Amino acid sequence: MAKDYYKSLGIARNATKDEIKKAYRELAHKYHPDKGGNAEQFKEINEAYSVLSNDEKRAQYDQFGQTFEGGSPQGGSQWPGGFRMDFGADGAGGDFDFSEVFEDLFGGGQNRTRSRERKGKDIRIDIEIPFEEAILGVKKEVELFKLVRCARCSGSGAEKGSKMNPCATCDGKGNIQKTQRTFLGSFTQVSTCPECAGSGKRPEVSCTQCRGKGIEQRNEKIELLIPKGIRDGEILKMTGSGEMSTAAGTPGDLYIHIHVAPHKTFRRQGDDIVMQLPIKLSQAIVGGSINIATIDGMIKLKVPEGTQSGDILSVRGKGAYASSGYGRGNLLIEIKVELPKKASRKMKEIADNLAKEGF
> Exposed/middle/buried for 339, CB within 10 Å: 0-12, 13-18, 19+?
exposed
Q: Which domain holds residue 36?
A: 5-108
Query: What residues contact residue 131 under an 8 Å CB cut-off, 6+ apart?
Result: 260, 261, 262, 263, 266, 268, 295
Cα distance between residue 298 and residue 292, in whole Å: 6
Minimum mean pLDDT among 84-98, 103-117, 139-153, 233-247: which range?
Answer: 84-98
Are 127 and 251 found together in one domain? yes
Write down the pLDDT at residue 148: 92
The answer to whether residue 115 is domain-embedded is: no
97 vs 148 pLDDT, higher one: 148
220 falls within a domain? yes
CB 85 within 8 A of CB 186: yes
* Per-residue pLDDT at 88: 36
Q: Which of 97-106, 142-151, 211-220 has the lowest average pLDDT?
A: 97-106
Which of these three, 260, 293, 320, is where a domain ends? 260
Q: For residue 308, what is the DSSP state?
A: P
How far is it between the farthest Cα atoms of the chain?
Answer: 109
Q: Are residues 171 and 244 in the same domain?
A: yes
Mean pLDDT score of the chain, rounded to an integer?
Answer: 81
Which own/partner contact pairs does 84-92 have at CB distance under 8 Å and 24+ positions apart?
84/186, 84/187, 84/188, 85/184, 85/185, 85/186, 85/187, 86/185, 86/186, 87/184, 87/185, 88/185, 91/43, 91/184, 91/185, 92/42, 92/43, 92/44, 92/46, 92/47, 92/50
Q: Is 60 exceeded by the pLDDT of residue 343?
A: yes
Q: How far is it, in rounded angstroms, from Cα 281 to Cα 278?
A: 10
Residue closest to 269 by CA, chosen among 311, 218, 317, 320: 320
Residue 239 predicted with pLDDT over 80: yes
Same domain for 249 and 128: yes
Q: Label residue 155 exposed, middle or buried (CB < 10 Å: 0-12, 13-18, 19+).
A: buried
Reported as a single tens digit per residue, the pLDDT across 306-340 is: 999 999 999 999 999 986 667 899 999 999 998 88
How far is it, in rounded angstroms, from Cα 319 to Cα 267? 10
Q: Are 317 and 254 within one domain?
A: no
Q: How many CA atoms lie within 13 A of 142 on its CB side?
A: 20
Q: Is the pLDDT higher at 125 or at 35?
A: 125
| 235 in the same domain as 273 | no
67 occurs within a structural domain: yes
Residue scoring higher pLDDT (90 or 318):
318
pTM for this structure?
0.58
Cα separations in angstroms, 208 against 152, 172, 199, 212, 345: 9, 23, 20, 7, 90
Share of the chain above pLDDT 90, in %: 38
In a domain, 117, yes or no: no
Q: What is the CATH number of the domain that holds 75?
A: 1.10.287.110
Q: Does one domain contain both 135 and 233? A: yes
- Together in a domain, 167 and 197: yes
How many CB atoms neighbour CB 66 within 10 A? 16
pLDDT (average), residues 46-61: 86
Judgement on whether residues 256 and 275 belong to the same structural domain of the protein: no
Q: Which residue has the higher pLDDT, 357 or 87?
A: 357
Closest to 231 measured CA to CA, from 98, 131, 138, 350: 131
Question: Which CATH number do you get for residue 253?
Answer: 2.10.230.10
88 in the same domain as 14: yes
Pick 187 or 200 by higher pLDDT: 200
Q: Is residue 188 part of a domain?
A: yes
CATH number of the domain enclosing 344: 2.60.260.20
User: Looking at 83, 108, 133, which one is the last position of a domain?
Assistant: 108
Q: How many CB atoms lie within 10 A of CB 350?
A: 12
Last residue of a domain, one of 207, 226, 260: 260
> Does a structural domain hold residue 114?
no
Q: Look at residue 49 and tell me if it is in a domain.
A: yes
What is the domain count for the chain? Answer: 3
93 and 43 together in one domain: yes
Predicted pLDDT of residue 325? 61
147 and 255 assigned to the same domain: yes
| Pair (70, 127) in one structural domain | no
Q: Is residue 283 part of a domain?
A: yes
- What's the CA gap between 215 and 211, in Å, rounded? 9
Ranges 28-32, 123-127, 192-196, most confident: 123-127
pLDDT for 290 beyond 60 = yes
DSSP three-state, residue 192? strand
Distance of CA 199 to the CA centre of its chain: 29
- Most confidently modeled range among 18-22, 105-109, 117-121, 139-143: 139-143
pLDDT at 77: 37
